[in-house]
């Protein structure tokens, strides 16, 4: 097995290169699916990359253009000279089947990558000093990338990046507004590959904010959401969702009776059993909830690698993820005394890397330190974040929740919740004010 030649097809590679130089339209048919690394012969990689660069620059990929490009970059001799390029064109009749040929080359490349991943997984198995969950996660990542055909290089020429970025402008924006108007004015919305922190003292409504933003992602964009709750059980979170659904404007036509957040709990305790009319309304709520593309995990000891593994599986099943919610960071960091800040940093970095790997927005909740309680002004600042240094560095957005009513019952801002955007890597800082009804766990736009 070890002495076998890796999967490849040299003749097909030559036919593709000949077709590119023969047919002006050939490159546009395969440029988005065939990558230079897929070619087995190094000289073929150079030739294809030359044609790719010419194509992205809007120039022809004929024999003369490719020859001149390779000569200008001192690569012509390395690929075998003008005679090599001429022979590729002479041996090619047409590029009519170049799409199928490109798929075949990618198939061979995938098989070589699978062999490589298999060898790497074998080596991981021998690393007995590394914890098994980490080994399994790393192994799963290698196979997952192959199954999703996510082949990319970390370093690309700017001509490729420019073309891809411009192409994105012609497509539906991959940034998803939250539906909270003042918040969207600051951060625009949730974008794949970003980490957003919502931080605040207890009872500031962090979990409610997360659930509302998750619900809006599902309703506005019809995208799946995965909610990892390390604080509440699945059923506790479900009951909160029911209460939120009962006062969501989109369902007003169904004549649902508002269900306070503590109503189910009182029924379960036998203090105030649900009435028949309440059960009738609740049946409608359950019907709505069961149709939502929502996944909930309440594993108290889950790790970042465990979260990533679950998300990969759900993304493979659904095709795309709209949002991943983690409630909350400090519950994932082991209490190891002086090393707690390092543990929290590892969690934050892990979630940030996962966001990039899966191209999904991650919303993580975080506590802030008790220092705010000793100040006359209770409004939090970014420096109040627990072990703030690493969180400030890693997060793309940091939103601090402040509910003045919690501290001052006689406040003139009753019902208002402040979402203080203390950091916005791709947006603006400022404060978004929303209406907050804690009884139902709903946040709404002003006006």
Distance separating alpha carbons of residues 363 and 355, to the nearest angstrom = 10
Instruction: Supply the pLDDT for residue 342.
Output: 61
For the ranges 4-18, 146-160, 195-209, 398-412, the lowest mean pLDDT is seen at 146-160
Segment (H or E) for 160:
helix 158-169
Considering only residues 321 and 309, tell me which one the structure prediction assigns the higher pLDDT: 321
According to DSSP, the β-strands at 397-402 and 225-229 are unpaired
Mean pLDDT taken over the chain: 87
What is the secondary structure of 26-40 as a DSSP string?
HHHHHTTT--GGG-S
Q: Is the pLDDT of residue 159 over 80?
A: no
CB-CB neighbours of 21 under 10 Å: 25
Six token digits for residue 355: 């966001």
Provide Rg for the chain, Cα atoms: 27
For the ranges 151-155, 223-227, 257-261, 376-380, the lowest mean pLDDT is seen at 151-155
Mean pLDDT, residues 106-115 taken together? 92
For the ranges 129-133, 174-178, 262-266, 338-342, the lowest mean pLDDT is seen at 338-342
Distance separating alpha carbons of residues 155 and 413, to the nearest angstrom = 51
pTM: predicted TM-score of the whole model, two decimal places? 0.70
Instruction: Supply the pLDDT for residue 5.
Output: 86
CB-CB neighbours of 301 under 10 Å: 9
Instruction: Supply the pLDDT for residue 78.
Output: 92
Q: Is the pLDDT of residue 326 over 70?
A: yes
Mean pLDDT, residues 42-71 taken together? 90
For the ranges 4-13, 148-157, 186-195, 357-366, the lowest mean pLDDT is seen at 148-157
Angle between helices 42-56 and 63-72 (to 10 degrees): 110
Instruction: Supply the pLDDT for residue 163.
Output: 73
According to DSSP, the β-strands at 397-402 and 362-367 are unpaired
For the ranges 76-80, 115-119, 368-372, the lowest mean pLDDT is seen at 368-372
Q: Is the pLDDT of residue 393 over 90?
A: no
What is the secondary structure of 264-315 as a DSSP string?
HHHHHTTSSPPPHHHHHHHHHHHHHHHHS-EEEE--TT--HHHHHHHHHHHH
Distance separating alpha carbons of residues 301 and 288, to the nearest angstrom = 30
Q: For the chain, give the percent of residues with pLDDT over 90.
A: 49
Q: What would the pLDDT profile of 415-440 be if each residue is shown by its tens digit?
A: 899 999 999 999 999 999 999 998 89
Report the number of secondary-structure helices (H) and strands (E) in the chain.
18, 11
Q: Is the pLDDT of residue 315 over 80?
A: yes
Cα 203–chain centre separation = 28
Q: What would the pLDDT profile of 209-219 be if each residue is shown by its tens digit?
A: 999 999 999 99
Q: Per-residue confidence at 167, pLDDT binned at 50, 70, 90?
A: confident
Q: What would the pLDDT profile of 61-88 be if each residue is shown by its tens digit?
A: 999 999 999 999 899 999 999 999 999 9
Mean pLDDT, residues 382-393 taken together? 78
List 433's β-bridge partners, or say none: 418
Instruction: Supply the pLDDT for residue 154.
Output: 54
Say if CB 26 and CB 95 are below 8 A apart: yes
Six token digits for residue 104: 């075949």
For the ranges 195-209, 216-230, 244-258, 298-312, the lowest mean pLDDT is seen at 298-312
List 363's β-bridge partners, or say none: 196, 325
Segment (H or E) for 421:
strand 416-424
Q: Which domains does the chain have, with CATH numbers?
A: 10-100 (1.10.860.10), 175-445 (3.40.50.300)
Q: Per-residue confidence at 164, pLDDT binned at 50, 70, 90?
A: confident
Six token digits for residue 411: 């406040």
Say if CB 363 and CB 213 are below 8 A apart: yes
Handedness of CA 330, 336, 339, 345 (dihedral sign): negative
List 416's β-bridge partners, or say none: 435
Instruction: Supply the pLDDT for residue 242.
Output: 93
What is the secondary structure of 322-389 as a DSSP string?
SEEEEE-GGGTS---GGGHHHHHHHHHHHHHHHHHHHT--EEEEEEB-GGGGGSSS----GGGBTTHH
Q: Is the pLDDT of residue 153 over 70?
A: no
158 Cβ contact list (under 8 Å, min separation 6) = none
Segment (H or E) for 435:
strand 430-437
Distance separating alpha carbons of residues 223 and 221, to the nearest angstrom = 5
First vs last C-alpha separation in the chain: 70
Which has the closest alpha carbon to 152: 357, 361, 316? 357
Instruction: Supply the pLDDT for residue 387.
Output: 63
List 398's β-bridge partners, or say none: 197, 423
Q: Per-residue confidence at 171, pLDDT binned at 50, 70, 90?
A: low
Mean pLDDT, residues 232-239 taken together? 90
Q: Per-residue confidence at 332, pLDDT binned at 50, 70, 90?
A: confident
Q: What would the pLDDT profile of 264-286 be if each residue is shown by its tens digit?
A: 889 989 899 989 998 999 999 99
According to DSSP, the β-strands at 430-437 and 416-424 are antiparallel
Which has the closest alpha carbon to 21: 49, 51, 55? 51
């Amino acid at each position: 097995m070890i002495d076998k030649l890796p999967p490849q097809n040299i003749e097909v590679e030559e036919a593709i290169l000949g077709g590119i130089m023969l047919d002006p339209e050939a490159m546009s048919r395969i440029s988005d699916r065939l990558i230079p690394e897929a070619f087995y012969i190094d000289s073929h990689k150079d030739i294809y990359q030359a044609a790719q660069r010419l194509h992205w620059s809007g120039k022809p990929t004929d024999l003369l253009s490719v020859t001149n490009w390779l000569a200008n970059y001192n690569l012509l001799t390395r690929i075998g000279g003008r005679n090599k390029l001429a022979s590729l064109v002479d041996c090619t009749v047409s590029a009519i089947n170049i799409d199928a040929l490109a798929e075949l080359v990618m198939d061979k490349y995938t098989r070589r990558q699978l062999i490589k991943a298999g060898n790497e997984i074998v080596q991981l198995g021998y690393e007995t000093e590394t914890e098994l969950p980490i080994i399994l996660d790393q192994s799963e990542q290698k196979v997952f990338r192959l199954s999703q055909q996510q082949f990319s290089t970390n370093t690309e020429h700017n001509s490729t990046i420019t073309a891809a970025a411009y192409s994105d402008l012609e497509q539906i924006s991959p940034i998803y507004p939250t539906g909270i108007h003042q918040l969207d004015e600051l951060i625009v919305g949730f974008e794949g590959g970003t980490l957003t922190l919502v931080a605040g003292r207890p009872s500031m409504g962090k979990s409610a904010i997360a659930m509302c933003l998750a619900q809006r992602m599902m309703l506005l964009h019809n995208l799946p959401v995965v909610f990892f709750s390390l604080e509440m059980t699945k059923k506790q979170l479900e009951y909160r969702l029911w209460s939120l659904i009962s006062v969501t404007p989109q369902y007003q036509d169904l004549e649902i009776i508002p269900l306070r957040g503590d109503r189910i709990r009182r029924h379960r305790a036998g203090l105030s059993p649900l009435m028949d009319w309440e059960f009738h309304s609740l049946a409608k709520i359950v019907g709505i909830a069961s149709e939502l593309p929502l996944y909930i995990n309440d594993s108290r000891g889950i790790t970042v690698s465990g979260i990533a593994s679950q998300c990969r599986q759900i993304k493979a099943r659904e095709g795309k993820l709209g949002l991943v919610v983690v409630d909350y960071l400090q519950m994932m960091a082991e209490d190891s005394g002086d090393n707690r800040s390092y543990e929290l940093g590892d969690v934050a970095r892990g979630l940030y890397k996962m966001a990039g790997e899966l191209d999904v927005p991650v919303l993580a909740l975080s506590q802030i330190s008790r220092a705010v309680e000793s100040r006359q002004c209770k409004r939090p600042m970014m420096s109040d974040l627990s072990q703030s240094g690493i969180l400030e560095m890693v997060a793309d957005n940091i939103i601090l929740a402040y509910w003045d009513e919690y501290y001052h019952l006689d406040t003139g801002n009753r019902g208002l919740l402040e979402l203080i955007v203390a950091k916005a890597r791709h947006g603006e800082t400022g404060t978004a004010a929303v209406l907050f009804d804690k009884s139902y766990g709903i946040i709404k736009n002003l006006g």
